[in-house]
Amino acid sequence: MLINTAFAATAAGASPDWTSFVPLIVIFVLFWFMLIRPQMKQAKEQRKLIDSLQKGDEVTTSGGIVGRITKVGDGFVGLEIAPDIVINIQKHTVQTLLPKGTIKSL
């Protein structure tokens, strides 16, 4: 007798409508504008900086090395860190392009 009444009961489930997806959409939009978009913009600026490197530029690497570029290759650059001391570093480690004359003021 109890089983028959349990099967006979109607489910009071809510039908999924578009309002249930609104919080998910809002979270995605906030995530896009606060995290993804700024990170993509920063990566684009970094690629532009690396592509525009040329001989004589003064740069800082991600390791904190400051020097002047003496040679630019496809994947590596020659960086003069002291008179007659040149090291080869990967291009993507260049972090900041410094104004001319910064090395002399250090």
Find, among 62, 65, 92, the residue nearest to 76 by Cα. Answer: 92
Place of tokens 């906030």: 30
Q: What is the mean pLDDT of residues 46-51?
A: 94
Gap between the Cα atoms of 32 and 26, Å rounded: 10
Is residue 1 included in any domain, yes or no? Answer: no
DSSP state of 12: -
State whether 59 and 72 are in the same domain: yes
Please report the pLDDT score of residue 21 as a whole number: 86
State whether 104 and 63 are in the same domain: yes
Is residue 97 included in any domain, yes or no? Answer: yes
Confidence of residue 106 (pLDDT cuts 50, 70, 90): confident
CATH, residue 61: 2.30.30
State whether 47 and 92 are in the same domain: no
Provide the domain limits for residue 47. 20-52
List of long-range contacts for 67-76, beta carbons under 8 Å, 24+ apart = 67/103, 68/103
This prediction has a pTM of: 0.69
Condensed to tens digits (0 to 9), the pLDDT of residues 62-101 reads 999 999 999 999 999 999 999 999 999 999 999 999 999 9
